[in-house]
Amino acid sequence: MKIARFSIDGSDPRFGILDEDEIVVLSGDPMFAGYDTTGERVPLADVKLLAPVIPRSKVVCVGLNYAAHKDEMAQAIPADHPLIFLKPNTSVVGPGDTIRIPPVEGRIVHEGELTIVIGKIGKQIPAERATDYIFGYTIANDVSARDQMLADGQWARAKGYDTFCPIGPVIETELDVSNLEISTFVDGEPRRHGNTKDLIFGIPEIIAYVSDVFTLLPGDLILTGTPAGLGGFVDGQTVDITIEGIGTLSNPARNR
């Protein structure tokens, strides 16, 4: 089931279920209110899709979680647990929204990632129960100011700018994530490609580890890492990230 968050002509956000070229309107946020419908259908062409969730708490990211990407970055990371970091929830924007490139030196890079949407409160979640806490999956672009990462020696500034976490276009609540192709394009040119079967740490392990550090809350996002393929983008270009079973997240880039 694909859950969309949308507005019509600037109206307050609403939620619905994507049904081909229409949206079946829900009476509230399905994460909290269930799937009661209003009886209304609206054409997909008439709505603006928004970020399918706005995290009330946090965006947790897993770094260097594909072997090929770890190798190309040539960074030493722990072998026995995921490398995690945070992005602020103010970095989140939706499909079609503009990535605002700050006036900094160096490369701005794309990182297309399968993203977990947490559905209920959890702490110290056993790996074997991890799926009980997943509301669904979406796509995220962990935009990064790569040269600032190296200059600062840590990643908060480089990955935390406003608009540096586009997500969407929908949340898929029923998805086998064991073997999904992930592809990133810039202006139609292939840049990154991978498959979730190559994750170093899988979804259950990630949730178990992250929830040992942080209490997970409904709406929290966990980005699971980017496949290999380096390359940045500049003003005027568009980044498209496609994940099987979810769709394509597309965002233009503009200088701030």
Whether residue 84 is predicted with pLDDT greater than 70 in this model: the reply is: yes
Tokens describing residue 149:
């990462």
CATH class in words for 2-49: mainly beta
Top-level CATH class of 59-255?
alpha beta
**Under 8 Å between Cβ of 201 and 128:** no
Q: Is residue 33 within a helix (H) or strand (E), and if so which, with residue range?
A: helix 30-33
Q: For the whole model, what pTM was predicted?
A: 0.95
Amino acid 73: pLDDT: 55
247: phi > 0 → left, psi -120 to 50 → alpha, else beta; which? left
Q: Name the band, by pLDDT with cuts 50, 70 and 90, for residue 231.
A: confident
2 vs 245: CA distance, rounded Å:
9
Tens digit of each residue's pLDDT (9 = 90 or more) over 97-151: 999 999 999 999 999 999 999 999 999 999 999 999 999 999 999 999 999 998 9
- Given a cut of 90, whether residue 80 has pLDDT beyond it is no
How does residue 70 score in pLDDT terms, banded at 50, 70 and 90?
Answer: low
Spatial separation of the C-alpha atoms in residues 44 and 96, rounded to whole Å: 14
Residue ranges, comma separated, of all CATH 3.90.850.10 domains in the chain are: 59-255
CA distance 184 to 167: 14
Q: What is the distance between the alpha carbons of residues 141 and 145, in angstroms, rounded to a whole number? A: 13
pLDDT at 68: 60
